[in-house]
């Protein structure tokens, strides 16, 4: 039987330490053909997220992949302040080369709409690692194109646990709750990977040392990124590897527990903005609610060290 063709993906991203790890994982996997990186303001401002996307591709020698500058602000509210945990350069101070290719001249929303209309319906998947502003604008302004998306896997939200920017809110959905509401209620094929799952995926110092010992460039770079993601020099577990869980789910959904839930997104102006409520009147969404943490970390390491 011939090998299956790689899955064509667009990574919508706001790099971000954990975004960077997810992007490098996707670059290392033979199962993905990356059509482009679209950027969005989130962890840090749009100029820095766009530059970081180009820097990651320059490091990996993959400047054949276009970087497309996306939305600089949420749909209808001020953008969030940059997250200090990602450092001044957005990727923990880890050194990367300057981009060797300029971002595309067209903005991400029309670029993505044209890509979807040009390719057979259902053949482009979106792996979304940041606020959902770009995808919401595609749906609002180019609905015929949006309906051709083969699937969206998005890191976002929290179901049963406390949030990370409020009692019930997770950063990506909180940063642009109106965009989250558009995407969740769109009827597009969507899988959400919330904090309930991503908090179970944390790297140990031994994990980082094993990556470094493997010696491959991608593995060593991810070891550097993981080490920048420990809260202190004495912590033995990193902060959660939120965004790589999107790629890990795409590669091995059998390692996750999925539930079909009906969700409502809070678009208010209080600390509950972006919160998800399970409600029979809400929109049907597939949600990852459990994960085999050791198994997905093993998959991450195996993919990086084989590249």
The whole-angstrom separation of Cα 131 and Cα 129 is 7
Homologous superfamily of the 7-306 domain (CATH): Ribonucleoside hydrolase-like (3.90.245.10)
Going by pLDDT thresholds of 50, 70 and 90, the confidence category of residue 230 is: confident
| Beta-sheet strands, E only, within 146-253 | 149-155, 190-193
The one catalytic residue in 86, 141, 235, 242 is 242
What pLDDT is stored for residue 3 in this prediction?
A: 62
Q: Mean pLDDT throughout 149-159?
A: 98
The whole-angstrom separation of Cα 255 and Cα 261 is 19
pLDDT digits (tens, 9 = 90+) for 96-127: 999 989 999 999 999 999 999 999 999 999 99
What pLDDT is stored for residue 141 in this prediction?
A: 98
Is 262 an annotated catalytic residue?
Answer: no
Q: What is the dihedral of CA 114, 117, 118, 120, to 10 degrees?
A: 150
Average pLDDT, the chain: 93
Helix (H, G, I), strand (E, B) or coil at 253: helix
Hey, where are the domains in the chain?
A: 7-306
pLDDT at 128 over 50: yes
The whole-angstrom separation of Cα 300 and Cα 75 is 34
What pLDDT is stored for residue 4 in this prediction?
A: 79
**Taking the model in full, what pTM does it have?**
0.95
Q: Which percentage of the chain shows pLDDT scores above 90?
A: 85
pLDDT digits (tens, 9 = 90+) for 21-34: 999 999 999 999 99
pLDDT at 65 over 50: yes
First to last CA, the chain: 24
Q: Mean pLDDT throughout 147-167?
A: 97
Helix (H, G, I), strand (E, B) or coil at 202: coil
Contacts by 202-210 with C-beta closer than 8 Å and gap 24+?
202/237, 202/238, 202/239, 202/240, 202/241, 202/293, 203/229, 203/237, 203/238, 203/241, 203/297, 204/236, 204/237, 204/238, 205/230, 205/236, 207/297, 207/301, 208/238, 210/301
Contact 193, 156 (CB under 8 A): yes
pLDDT at 170 over 50: yes
pLDDT at 85 over 60: no
Contact 129, 52 (CB under 8 A): no
pLDDT at 197 over 70: yes
Contact 7, 34 (CB under 8 A): no
């Amino acid at each position: 039987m011939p090998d299956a063709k790689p899955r064509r993906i667009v990574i919508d991203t706001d790099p971000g330490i954990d975004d960077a790890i997810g992007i490098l994982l996707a670059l290392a996997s033979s199962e993905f053909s990356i059509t482009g990186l679209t950027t969005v303001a989130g962890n840090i401002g749009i100029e820095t997220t766009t530059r970081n996307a180009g820097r990651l591709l320059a490091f990996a020698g993959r400047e054949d992949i276009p970087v497309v500058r996306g939305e600089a602000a949420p749909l209808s509210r001020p953008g969030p302040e940059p997250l200090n945990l990602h450092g001044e350069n957005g990727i923990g101070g880890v050194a990367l080369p300057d981009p060797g290719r300029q971002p595309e001249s067209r903005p991400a929303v029309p670029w993505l709409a044209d890509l979807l209309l040009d390719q057979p319906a259902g053949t482009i998947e979106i792996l979304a690692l940041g606020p959902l502003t770009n995808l919401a604008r595609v749906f609002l302004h180019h609905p015929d194109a949006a309906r051709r998306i083969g699937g969206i896997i998005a890191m976002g939200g929290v179901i049963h646990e406390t949030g990370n920017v409020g009692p019930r809110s997770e950063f990506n959905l909180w940063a642009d709750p109106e965009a989250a509401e558009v995407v969740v209620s769109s009827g597009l094929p969507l899988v959400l990977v919330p904090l309930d799952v991503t908090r179970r995926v944390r790297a140990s110092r031994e994990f980082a040392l094993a990556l470094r010992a493997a010696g491959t460039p991608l593995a060593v770079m991810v070891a550097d990124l993981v080490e920048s993601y420990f809260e202190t020099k004495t912590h033995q577990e990193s902060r959660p590897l939120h965004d790589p869980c999107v790629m890990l789910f795409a590669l091995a959904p059998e390692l996750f527990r999925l539930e079909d839930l009906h969700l409502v997104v809070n678009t208010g102006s209080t600390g509950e903005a972006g919160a998800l409520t399970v409600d029979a009147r809400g929109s049907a969404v597939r949600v990852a609610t459990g994960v085999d943490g050791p198994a997905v970390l093993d998959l991450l390491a195996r993919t990086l060290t084989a590249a």
